[in-house]
Structure 1
Amino acid sequence: MPIHVTCDSCHSNFNAPDGTGGKRAKCPSCGSVIVIPTPPPKEEEVFEAEMAPAGGFDDDDFEIEAPVETPSTDEPRKPCPMCGEQISINAIKCRFCGEIFDPQLKKQARISSSGEDEQLGVFEWIIAILCSNIGCIVAIVYIIQGKPKGKKMLMVVACVYVITFIIGVIIGVFQEVQNAP
């Protein structure tokens, strides 16, 4: 049986599939995050719960968790655009999903997390020097991915090409000198 849902933002009505009660979803009309209400239990389920056998179990057999209380603050809140959780209206990072909202902080976090992508590893050095054509392709892929080591690898490949060209010219000149009468 579908669950009737009304969006708090745009007040549009729609039906959610059975079993989705309590979950978060995006409104098909406006895209805001809403919580699908939990339907009340059916009469049969209530009747069965009341008629459960009383013998064999007491309150000590069940662990009852206390509800987690969220600290009440007077600070205004807004839903996180990524996960929909309520966060401070002045938040620069969501405490639930970790999304960073400040563009400068986001850029700085991206740079600091890419520290392992700045240095070429042994594998990249071997490919760049011994297999320059493949190294060039790998470097271009790294550049497309936004990894700083892509530019470094491309420079190594270019240097290998230049050195190989210079060595080839020198060998060619020596061969001409030897073959000259």
Structure 2
Amino acid sequence: MSISFECQSCGKKLKAPDSAVGKSSKCPQCGAKVTCPEPIYDAEVADDAEGLGGVAFSGSNALADLDDGSPYALKDPDPYAPPAGDAAEGPRRPCPMCGEMILTSAAKCRFCGEVFDPKLKKKSKKKYGADSADMSAGDWVVALLCPGIGCIAGIVWMIQGKPKGTKMFGISFAVNAFWTVVQILLRSQMNPQGGP
């Protein structure tokens, strides 16, 4: 069997054997490069519904019972049934912290982790170990050389509940106060008369 196709450049009708599929050659008329395409197979028309796909149907029109022409609708619509997890749950309300919908009886938001129950809130406070109570060498360097940054870090750590936050703030504040006093004394020594 041969494959018939046309040259894309000049439109000449070409024929090639089945073994030439995907191979390229030159058009004998214009010399352009042409590639032999895959053969196109036409579908066969069936004479009757019997024997389609090798399946024999009973009756003369086996597909007639699929659509009787009536409008589509549910015969007995089922009432809404919530998923299994929501059946026992009650009404919902927005979380005051993040705004996500949570159960009205929830003690903790599952999205942002905010605890609403005062007893659980006390228990859920983060417990920091001994490593967070002592200041590291880097903390000391920041507290002594950059007391402004040390004060800010100490305040942040106090807000987080870390014990070393108070130490960091206290040491940084003391160092800052010490250098302020030193500056005042040096300025007063430079200008003993109090003038500019």
Tell whether the structures are fold-level matches, with TM greater than 0.5.
Answer: no
Bigger helix fraction: 1
Instruction: State the TM-score, normalizing by the size of structure 1.
Output: 0.39
Larger Rg: 2
More RCO (CA 8 Å, sep 6+): 1
Query: Given the two structures, how large is their TM-score scaled by the length of structure 2?
Result: 0.37
